[in-house]
Amino acid sequence: MVVGEEQILGQVKDAIIQAKEMRTSGEHLNTLFDKAIKIGTRVRNSTGINKGTISIGSMAVKLAEENIDDLKSKKILLIGTGEAATLVAKSLGKRDYHFYVTSRTMERSKAFAETVGGEPIGFEEIMKGFSNYDVLFVATVAPYFLVTFDRIKDAMKNKENGMMILDLSNPRTVDEKVATIHGIKMMNLDQIAEMVDKNMRYRSNQKNSAEKIISEEIQVLEAHMKRLEIEPVVKEIFKDIDVRRSKELEKALRMLGETDESKVKIIDDLTKAIVEGIISTPMNNLRKASEQSNDDLLKAATKLFDYKKKE
């Protein structure tokens, strides 16, 4: 559902690796999957269709990274333990950030911390003041401003460094006026969502280039898949001819009474060269006929070489 989603390609890779290990996929599936993975990688590398954050949570964290120096050393607080807070927490966790999480009930904060991450902290405690924190992510459905102008003004009195506030709530739960306080950087959901939309649009615009690459590669893949059909026939014919060659060679060597290794090798090489010289062109033409779906030629060739498909 998400254009350029990375996870899907990873899942496809894992699936075929597992199938190969368990020997549940054959030559056709292996070829198809290997090629699909190669095409997927080529599409991503040459179009950048997978570039740019497209999750609200990851975008909020990215913005904090871009606006705050050395975010790892800063105190981060997440207010909220619902779905939006989960997106932020997952993104923080993925990037190894330590953060505090709070909700109106300590039980919810603790449960959230256990499942999604973060260090739980009491709601009353943080409501006393935000001066301990450098970054606030706010994702609640409170019907009033949780983060008010006065609270932040107070917090900034005791702070040497600035503070970044990212309000993911809609309607807002951080008073917009907070942005006017010196040292405050603020971003709301509309601004975060707009950046996500921009990245989505960029990805969507790459679809045509991606489709062009896919159609080019599909032709190569189709030819390759068709060759897979004929390969067992070619192999069988070569094998059959080589059995005959070896038999005739043995017979001739017996008649000659030849045992000198270097002479036997010369005769052996001679028979191989004759066989290959005669058979390689028709075999290559057979491969081409298969690629071009020339069924009449395929039928004629299999009849001429008396090839019978093994069940």
Ligand X SMILES: NC(=O)c1ccc[n+]([C@@H]2O[C@H](COP(=O)([O-])OP(=O)(O)OC[C@H]3O[C@@H](n4cnc5c(N)ncnc54)[C@H](OP(=O)(O)O)[C@@H]3O)[C@@H](O)[C@H]2O)c1
Binding site for ligand X (CB under 6 A): 56, 80-85, 103-105, 108, 139-142, 146, 168-170, 189
What amino acid is encoded at 142 in this protein?
A
Q: To which residue do tokens 């405050």 refer? A: 184
Q: Which residue is nearest to ligand X (CB)?
A: 82
Nearest distance, CB of residue 171 and ligand X, angstroms: 7
Please compute, for residue 48, the number of CA atoms within 13 A of its CA located in the half-sphere on the CB side: 8
Distances (CA, A) of 214 to 16, 52, 219, 291: 20, 22, 9, 19
Phi and psi torsions of 294, nearest 5°: -85, 80
Widest CA span in the chain: 110
Residue 171, preceding bond cis, omega within 30 degrees?
yes
Q: To which residue do tokens 């503070």 refer? A: 163
Which residue number, 84 or 230, has a Cβ lying nearer to ligand X? 84
Nearest distance, CB of residue 211 and ligand X, angstroms: 30
Nearest distance, CB of residue 161 and ligand X, angstroms: 26
Which residue number, 40 or 57, has a Cβ lying nearer to ligand X? 57
Which residue number, 5 or 229, has a Cβ lying nearer to ligand X? 5
Which residue number, 47 or 109, has a Cβ lying nearer to ligand X? 109
Nearest distance, CB of residue 189 and ligand X, angstroms: 5
Nearest distance, CB of residue 191 and ligand X, angstroms: 12
3-state secondary structure at position 23: coil
